[in-house]
Chains A and B, each alone.
Chain A
Amino acid sequence: MISSYLIFHVAGRLFGAKLLGAIEILPWRGSRFVPLSYSYVEGLIDYRGIIYPVFNLAQQLGLSRPGPIGFTAEKKKQAEGRNIILLEENKVPFGIIVDGVAKMAKLEDATLAPGKAQGIDPAYVKGIAYEDDQEIMILDFERLFHAD
């Protein structure tokens, strides 16, 4: 089966999210901070009547470039200029921060190779697609952000 994927960049790598229903791509915007939330939660945004949690994908995947110790105040600045993609998985809406959106692509589901993504916990990878010799990691968002 062929499905449509949205391909985006995070920390110099390509990732894909299967298109199920609508996907919104927003310019980066401030989100409502929630004290004591998980460290990879950027905050909440209210978009067209739906409250989305916004996750810092790079941080959850362990791909953030480590900054100098004690420089957490720079976190917000780093996010500016990026995009927020609003998705849903199993009808649960959520947003992720990405460095940029590359394109839409049609990928054959069956060609997804089992995950052996370097430097990323394989539990978070559904599979890897190859296009133009580029590796595109298809993530398992449910596992990434709903571990609890």
Chain B
Amino acid sequence: MDAGTRFLILSLDGESYAIPIARLLEITVARAIQRDPSLAEVFEGKVEFRGAWIPVLNVKKIFKLPGMPGTTLLVVTSGKGTLGILVDAVTDILDTEQRPAPLPKGVINPGLHYYKGILRHKEKLVLLLNQDELLS
């Protein structure tokens, strides 16, 4: 029987987002981030992870959210390799059999694939991030 899916609930600028836990490698405090001018502007820099350098993404910059880059670092696997993502906090774990609802038509340019859908968590709507397309 399908045991459902587990999601990590994280916050950015006071709103909740989710990523599937199956894609999560590590949660740490963001530190020792090295600047790397060869990376695009949406990256804060790079960190060493299990003996290799991985790029660290400032999601707030992609989403045009205000505030400093998040201080919690999530290391995830994405279609473009291992990636660090800065978030404000990890707030919960959601173990659910919900299937993410699609984003309604007319909300976002259909050429943008930042979200895989919408989940309900504690009577709130949570946007499920598409970590494979955050760099699109």
Interface string of B61-89 (1 = CB under 8 A from A): 01111000000000000000000000000
- Say what secondary structure dominates the interface of chain B: loop
A148 touches B64 (CB 8 A): no
The answer to the question of B23 belonging to the interface, with a C-beta cut-off of 8 Å to chain A, is no
Q: A94–B104 Cα gap in the complex (Å)?
A: 8
Given the known inter-chain contacts A32-B15, A35-B63, A35-B64, please indicate yes or no for A148 contacting B104, CB distance below 8 A.
Answer: no
The answer to the question of B108 belonging to the interface, with a C-beta cut-off of 8 Å to chain A, is yes
Max chain B Cβ within 10 angstroms of own Cβ: one of A38, A44, A45, A92: A44
List residues 81-136 of chain B with CB under 8 A from any CB of chain A.
101, 103-110, 112, 114-115, 118, 120, 123-125, 127
Q: With CB as the reference atom, state the residue of chain B lying closest to A46.
A: B125
Chain B residue numbers with a CB within 8 Å of A37 are: 107-108
Interface string of A62-97 (1 = CB under 8 A from B): 000000000000000000000000000000111000
Q: With CB as the reference atom, state the residue of chain B lying closest to A44.
A: B125
Chain A residue numbers with a CB within 8 Å of B101 are: 51
Tell me the smallest distance from the CB of B116 to a CB of chain A, in Å.
Answer: 13
The answer to the question of A124 belonging to the interface, with a C-beta cut-off of 8 Å to chain B, is no
A148 touches B118 (CB 8 A): no
Q: A53–B125 Cα gap in the complex (Å)?
A: 12
Q: With CB as the reference atom, state the residue of chain A lying closest to B65.
A: A35
Tell me the smallest distance from the CB of A97 to a CB of chain B, in Å.
Answer: 15
Chain B residue numbers with a CB within 8 Å of A8 are: none
